[in-house]
């Protein structure tokens, strides 16, 4: 029988590193507080026993305020692991023990893995491990999870202690609280109130702490006892407020820290260096977060990240593209012309290939981000930019997602949406992932390039700058709008830890990068394959047979140019997508878009790259290489209804309309609900349409 062991501890204390060292599993490790959100499981055999090891999310406390805390607490209460291995950051002992005490108060069987002993040593901190163990009454094993030092000793200690069942720790919270706790505990015991999973004193404490989760469970269990306990808690709260100007919650926390201090004071910790001396990490901070140098360096770092990603991924992206072109060509010669071939080439290879073609780019992007994250710099970026982003209801840490999505022009919203994972505050995170698609991803650039080349030849750079500014202003304003309507709520407290700078390990970077890239690849095989087939079908069916062509030509559709259309364009117009494009013309013409543009925009939902090539087909040019769109630009210049106003209206629409479906899938996944995926499609498209119509109408009115 496997024995369940839970790894728990403060964020960034090395739980995942230890988990990987124990199980050999490859979990994501990062130097940014709160990287693990779900719990992860693995097994490990040692001392002739099989251990089921669960990596819990990092928490500072066991109140039920955040998702992480609820996940960790529920696991301990419901799954009752045989032992909790509490990873404690030895270089930050005092704060870390705060959580340890709370495990002990729950009556859990705890063993301390005293991690980061190397860091503690460098800071001149010596810890008397035996004394700590004696005073706390727990086994304590010093270790360095990063190198695996202490691993064997830890496993041995765990094996030796799994059968222990310690009594819940009783801390004195001062006369007033203790008396009330005793009374409450008595009633809880006699009523057997919630005592099935929880220890009685702990339930009483949670009533004093106003713990929402326990109060709710209590109300459902025995309403009478619940009322009585709540009244007791309220009375104590009033009493403390009038006599001591404090409240139970605050007092309980103070006493817990007091308890820790009293233990550490008994010679557990000794400093060989002045504890107030600036560690080298602080010295780096003096420069990297300096008033003037800080922002400059940050811009440099972001540019560097951008350069690194796009410059180095260019070659492998080319290989990927060549591979899929080759695959397409092979298929072309292998099968006879017909629907099946069209499905395989245009539906499957082009669709999935378009997504997989991004893999090298995503890999480099994540490698860069992982480096910033693991080194600790990302937390500093959040620190420096928080003031700006907070004005729009976002969080300092949102910046990374915006940059990755194309904030400087030419990123990709897919890794951008995934980069929001480093954001801990749920509301700010949702607002971020819904607004990053407004950035100018690499696939929108060819559209701008085409239109700018055709209509704004003399102002290329200025127009590109305006486009970038519009997308930022738009994204921030929409974030503000969302945060004051659908995702309303006060800002999540910023109280955050700045982890010390650490040199990322190669293993950590590799795991981190690969894990994220793999998630992206996996998606290409499933949802994206399905959607590309659907889009292909929409642009292919119903098919045009020769009779209908002549028929339509004789009947004479009122669409200008229908008579001169080439077969490709005619077939496209006849398809579902074509019909939709024409049907939409009744609305989109207010924004200046004809049906050809509509089809191209519909295609852009598959991938924004498709806009240019579809425009080419719809304007009867056959295949258009997005890199070489000069001929199409010439054609548009002379086309009826086209001019700078139409072009800019289309640019506006392209900035804001629905994210491509890969991004929509990611938004749905990352927000945990398809509701938000659908929302971003509908909301963004409506927003884009309104902006384009307003612009087009105003501009044409002013010019007339």
Partner 1 sequence: MMEGISLRRMQVNQTGTVVSVRARGELGRRIRDMGLVPGKDIRIQGRAPLKDPVSLRIMGGTLTLRNNEADYIFVEVH
Binding-site ranges for ligand GTP (CB under 6 A): 9, 11-17, 29-31, 33-36, 58, 115-116, 118-119, 144-146, 374, 502, 505, 508
**Among ligand GTP, partner 1, Mg ion, none, partner that 263 touches (CB below 5 to 8 angstroms by kind):** none
Min dist CB 391 to ligand GTP, Å, is 28
Min dist CB 115 to ligand GTP, Å, is 5
**Among Mg ion, partner 1, ligand GTP, none, partner that 17 touches (CB below 5 to 8 angstroms by kind):** ligand GTP
Beta-carbon contacts of 166 under 8 Å, excluding residues fewer than 6 positions away, are 104, 107, 108, 109, 110, 137
Min dist CB 255 to partner 1, Å, is 9
Q: Which residue has the tokens 């041995």?
A: 156
Q: Which two tokens stand for residue 349?
A: 């290879």
d(CA 595, CA 601): 10
Residue 86, beta-bridge partner list: 8, 112
Q: Which two tokens stand for residue 428?
A: 């700010």
Q: Which two tokens stand for residue 221?
A: 């269990």
Closer to partner 1 by Cβ: residue 253 or 466: 253
d(CA 677, CA 488): 18
**Among partner 1, ligand GTP, Mg ion, none, partner that 502 touches (CB below 5 to 8 angstroms by kind):** ligand GTP
Closer to partner 1 by Cβ: residue 91 or 440: 91
* Strand order across the 3-9 sheet: 40-46, 49-55, 3-9, 83-89, 110-115, 140-142
Beta-carbon contacts of 643 under 8 Å, excluding residues fewer than 6 positions away, are 455
Applying CB under 8 A, which of residues 53, 106, 496, 615 lies at the interface with partner 1?
A: 496
What single-letter DSSP state applies at residue 89?
Answer: E
> Which range in 169-177, 189-197, 274-282, 599-607 contacts partner 1 by CB under 8 A?
274-282
**Among ligand GTP, Mg ion, partner 1, none, partner that 275 touches (CB below 5 to 8 angstroms by kind):** partner 1
> Which range in 187-195, 257-265, 334-342, 565-573 contacts partner 1 by CB under 8 A?
257-265
Q: Which two tokens stand for residue 245?
A: 């100007």
**Among Mg ion, ligand GTP, partner 1, none, partner that 439 touches (CB below 5 to 8 angstroms by kind):** none
Residue 357 has φ and ψ, to the nearest 5°, of -60, -25
Closer to ligand GTP by Cβ: residue 151 or 574: 151
Q: Hey, how many other C-beta atoms are within 10 angstroms of the C-beta on 244?
A: 12
Closer to partner 1 by Cβ: residue 13 or 629: 13
**Among ligand GTP, partner 1, Mg ion, none, partner that 498 touches (CB below 5 to 8 angstroms by kind):** partner 1
Q: Is 282 in the site for partner 1 (CB under 8 A)?
A: yes
> Which range in 285-293, 467-475, 585-593, 644-652 contacts partner 1 by CB under 8 A?
285-293
Q: Which two tokens stand for residue 464?
A: 């590109």
**Among ligand GTP, partner 1, Mg ion, none, partner that 474 touches (CB below 5 to 8 angstroms by kind):** none
Applying CB under 8 A, which of residues 245, 458, 623, 627 lies at the interface with partner 1?
A: 245
Q: Which two tokens stand for residue 119?
A: 């860091």
Q: Which two tokens stand for residue 419?
A: 């980069």
Applying CB under 8 A, which of residues 65, 312, 472, 590 lies at the interface with partner 1?
A: 65
Residue 402 has φ and ψ, to the nearest 5°, of -65, -45
For CA atoms 655, 656, 661, 665, the dihedral sign is: positive
Q: ∠ at Cα 277 (275, 282), nearest 5°? A: 115
> Which range in 146-154, 161-169, 253-261, 588-596 contacts partner 1 by CB under 8 A?
253-261
Site string for Mg ion, 14-53 (x = CB under 5 A): -xx-------------------x-----------------
Beta-carbon contacts of 138 under 8 Å, excluding residues fewer than 6 positions away, are 100, 104, 110, 111, 112
**Cβ–Cβ < 8 Å for 598, 608:** no
Site for partner 1, rule CB under 8 A: 60-61, 63, 65, 91-95, 98, 123, 125, 245-247, 249-250, 253-254, 257-258, 261, 275-276, 282, 285-286, 289-292, 294-295, 383-388, 390, 396, 493-498, 500
């Amino acid at each position: 029988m496997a024995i369940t062991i839970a790894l728990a501890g403060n964020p960034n204390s090395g739980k995942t590193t230890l988990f990987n060292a124990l199980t050999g599993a490859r979990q994501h490790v990062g130097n940014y507080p709160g990287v693990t959100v779900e719990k992860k499981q693995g097994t490990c055999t040692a001392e002739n026993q099989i251990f089921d090891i669960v990596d819990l999310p990092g928490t500072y406390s066991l109140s039920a305020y955040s998702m992480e805390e609820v996940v960790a607490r529920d696991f301990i209460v419901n799954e009752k692991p045989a032992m909790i291995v509490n990873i404690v950051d030895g270089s930050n002992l005092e704060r870390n023990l705060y959580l340890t005490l709370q495990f002990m108060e729950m009556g859990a069987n705890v063993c301390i893995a005293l991690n980061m002993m190397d860091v503690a040593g460098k800071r001149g901190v010596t810890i008397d491990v035996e004394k700590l163990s004696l005073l706390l009454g727990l086994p304590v094993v010093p270790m360095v999870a990063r190198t695996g030092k202490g691993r064997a000793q830890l496993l041995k200690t765990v094996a030796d202690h799994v059968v222990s069942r310690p009594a819940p720790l009783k801390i004195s919270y001062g006369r007033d609280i203790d008396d009330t706790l005793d009374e409450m505990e008595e009633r809880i015991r006699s009523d057997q109130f919630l005592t099935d999973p929880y220890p009685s004193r702990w339930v009483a404490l949670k009533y004093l702490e106003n713990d929402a989760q326990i109060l709710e469970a209590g109300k459902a269990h025995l309403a009478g006892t619940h009322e009585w306990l709540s009244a007791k808690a309220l009375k104590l709260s009033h009493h403390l407020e009038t006599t001591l100007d404090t409240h139970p919650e605050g007092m309980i926390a103070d006493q817990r820290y007091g308890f820790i201090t009293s233990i550490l004071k008994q010679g557990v910790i000794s400093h060989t260096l002045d504890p107030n001396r600036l560690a080298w990490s602080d010295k780096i901070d003096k420069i990297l977060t300096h008033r003037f140098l800080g922002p400059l360096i940050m811009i440099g770092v972001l540019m560097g990240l951008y350069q690194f990603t796009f410059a180095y991924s260019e070659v492998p992206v080319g290989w990927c593209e060549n591979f899929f072109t080759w695959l397409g060509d092979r298929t072309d010669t292998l099968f006879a012309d017909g629907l099946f071939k069209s499905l395989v080439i245009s539906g499957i290879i082009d669709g999935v290939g378009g997504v997989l073609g991004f893999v090298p780019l995503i890999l480099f992007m994540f490698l860069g981000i992982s480096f910033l994250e693991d080194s600790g710099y990302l937390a500093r970026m959040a620190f420096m930019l928080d003031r700006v982003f907070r004005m729009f209801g976002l969080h300092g840490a949102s910046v990374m997602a915006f940059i990755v999505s194309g904030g400087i022009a030419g990123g990709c919203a897919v890794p951008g949406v995934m980069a929001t994972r480093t954001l801990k505050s749920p509301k700010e995170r949702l607002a971020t992932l819904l607004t990053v698609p407004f950035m100018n991803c690499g696939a929108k650039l060819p559209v701008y390039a085409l239109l700018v080349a055709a209509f704004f030849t003399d102002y290329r750079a200025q127009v590109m700058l305006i486009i970038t500014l519009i997308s930022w202003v738009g994204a921030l304003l929409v974030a503000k709008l969302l945060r004051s309507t659908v995702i309303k709520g006060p800002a999540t407290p910023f109280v955050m830890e700045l982890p010390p700078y650490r040199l990322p390990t190669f293993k950590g970077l590799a795991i981190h990068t690969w894990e994220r890239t793999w998630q992206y690849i996996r998606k290409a095989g499933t949802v994206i394959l399905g959607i590309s087939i659907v889009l292909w079908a929409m642009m292919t069916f119903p098919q045009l047979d020769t009779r209908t062509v002549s028929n339509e030509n004789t009947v004479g559709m009122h669409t200008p140019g229908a008579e001169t259309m080439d077969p490709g364009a005619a077939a496209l117009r006849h398809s579902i997508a074509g019909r939709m494009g024409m049907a939409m013309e009744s609305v989109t013409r207010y924004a200046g878009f004809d049906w050809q543009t509509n089809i191209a925009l519909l295609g852009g939902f598959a991938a924004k790259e498709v806009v240019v090539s579809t425009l080419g087909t719809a304007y009867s040019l056959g295949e258009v290489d997005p890199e070489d769109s000069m001929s199409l630009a010439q054609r548009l210049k002379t086309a009826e209804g086209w001019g700078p106003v139409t072009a800019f209206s289309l640019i506006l629409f392209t900035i804001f309309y629905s994210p491509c479906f890969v991004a929509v899938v990611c938004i749905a996944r990352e927000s945990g609900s398809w509701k938000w995926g659908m929302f971003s499609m509908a909301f963004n498209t409506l927003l884009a349409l309104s902006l384009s119509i307003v612009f087009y109408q105003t501009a044409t009115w002013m010019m007339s």
